[in-house]
């Protein structure tokens, strides 16, 4: 039988963060350590917060670190077992905006993957970290949350949420009234999943009309013979699906906030803000 085609995140080519730390969710996984600058303790002589736009590898500033167990390559259906740039973009956004997060609000992450963004979010607020119950991903998230107990100052609930399901689980339904912010990173890679994801957003905004949604995506370009040009079909289909959702506002945000993780913030990365009208 022919082996299924596998993909790998571009992040692994940019930096080598893989360690000898033993994985606990699966023996075929690896554990990477990512350092990041925590700006809460960095102030100038006037006591004002110093915001670094991009970290330097030679920067001597004391850094925090996050340990993430993950796969290095997977089939397309299991890409959530890897780490992608969008998770770092949302993590940067959370660190930069942490003082402006709703004080009594819970953060819900959709398609959380390995849980990196949710772990950073839990430094500031209670988090509902969700994904499909497939490929051992929920167990992987739970293990990563355990690994980073020293970082998370707030509760992290790891729960199942399948975009293809018509209804949310009872556990999710009970927690929804507390949700103020919804996050999602790099969940656009398959048209069927994209359509289901946008439908899930629509249902969530009907139940939580005061929620604000932030979606980090990386446009993935391909060359088409028919047009003799490059396009980003998955991203374009996402925009088509979004346009069909009634009574929402969508806004493409500038990426001019601080960068605290070491990764290439490539021009293909985008951040969308979505709210109910």
Structure tokens that stand for 150 in this block = 């020293």
Band (pLDDT 50/70/90 cuts) for residue 226 is low
pLDDT digits (tens, 9 = 90+) for 199-223: 999 999 999 999 999 999 999 877 5
Band (pLDDT 50/70/90 cuts) for residue 230 is low
Could you give the CA distance from residue 81 to residue 150 in angstroms, rounded to a whole number? 23
pLDDT score at 268:
95
3-state DSSP call for residue 173?
helix
Q: Please say if the pLDDT value at position 225 is more than 70.
A: no
Cβ neighbours of 250 (radius 10 Å): 14
3-state DSSP call for residue 52?
coil
Provide φ and ψ at 146, rounded to 5°. Answer: -60, -40
pLDDT more than 90, % of the chain: 80
Instruction: Give mean pLDDT, residues 179-185.
Output: 98
> For the structural domain made of 6-276, what CATH number should be given?
3.40.50.150
Q: Please say if the pLDDT value at position 1 is more than 60.
A: no
pLDDT digits (tens, 9 = 90+) for 56-99: 554 545 689 999 999 999 999 999 999 999 999 999 999 999 99
Closest CA relative to residue 182, chosen from 194, 200, 160: 200
Could you give the CA distance from residue 82 to residue 66 in angstroms, rounded to a whole number? 15
Please give the mean pLDDT across all residues of the chain.
Answer: 90
Q: Please say if the pLDDT value at position 260 is more than 50.
A: yes
pLDDT score at 42:
46
CA angle 138, 168, 195 (to 5 degrees): 85
H or E segment and range at residue 95: helix 85-96
Band (pLDDT 50/70/90 cuts) for residue 227 is low
pLDDT score at 232:
82
Structure tokens that stand for 41 in this block = 């303790």
Band (pLDDT 50/70/90 cuts) for residue 193 is very high
First vs last C-alpha separation in the chain:
51
Q: Say which range, 33-42, 117-126, 170-179, 250-259, has the weakest mean pLDDT.
A: 33-42
Q: Please say if the pLDDT value at position 38 is more than 50.
A: yes
Can you list the positions of beta strands (E) in 112-152? 127-131
247: left (phi over 0), alpha (psi -120 to 50) or beta: left
Q: Please say if the pLDDT value at position 149 is more than 80.
A: yes
């Amino acid at each position: 039988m022919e082996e299924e085609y596998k993909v790998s995140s571009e992040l692994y080519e940019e930096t080598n963060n893989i360690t000898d730390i033993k994985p606990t969710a699966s023996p075929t996984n690896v554990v990477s350590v990512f350092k990041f600058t925590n700006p809460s303790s960095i102030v100038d002589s006037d006591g004002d917060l110093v915001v670094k736009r991009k970290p330097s590898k030679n920067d001597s500033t004391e850094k925090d670190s996050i340990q993430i167990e993950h796969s290095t390559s997977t089939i397309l259906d299991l890409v959530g077992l890897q780490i992608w740039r969008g998770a770092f973009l949302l993590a940067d956004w959370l660190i930069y905006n942490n003082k402006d997060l709703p004080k009594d609000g819970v953060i819900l992450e959709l398609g959380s993957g390995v849980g990196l963004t949710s772990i950073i979010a839990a430094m500031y607020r209670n988090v509902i970290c969700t994904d499909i119950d497939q490929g051992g991903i929920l167990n992987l998230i739970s293990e990563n949350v355990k690994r980073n107990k020293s970082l998370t100052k707030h509760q992290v609930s790891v729960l199942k949420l399948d975009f293809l399901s018509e209804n949310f689980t009872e556990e999710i339904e009970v927690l929804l009234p507390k949700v103020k912010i919804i996050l999602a990173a790099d969940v656009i890679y398959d048209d069927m999943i994209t359509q289901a994801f946008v439908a899930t957003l629509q249902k969530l905004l009907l139940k939580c009309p005061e929620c604000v949604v932030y979606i980090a995506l990386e446009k993935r370009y391909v060359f088409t013979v028919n047009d003799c040009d490059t396009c980003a079909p998955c991203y374009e289909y996402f925009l088509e699906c979004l346009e069909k959702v009634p009574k929402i506002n969508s806004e493409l945000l500038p990426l001019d906030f601080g960068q605290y993780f070491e990764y290439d913030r490539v021009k293909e990365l985008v951040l969308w803000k979505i709210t109910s009208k």
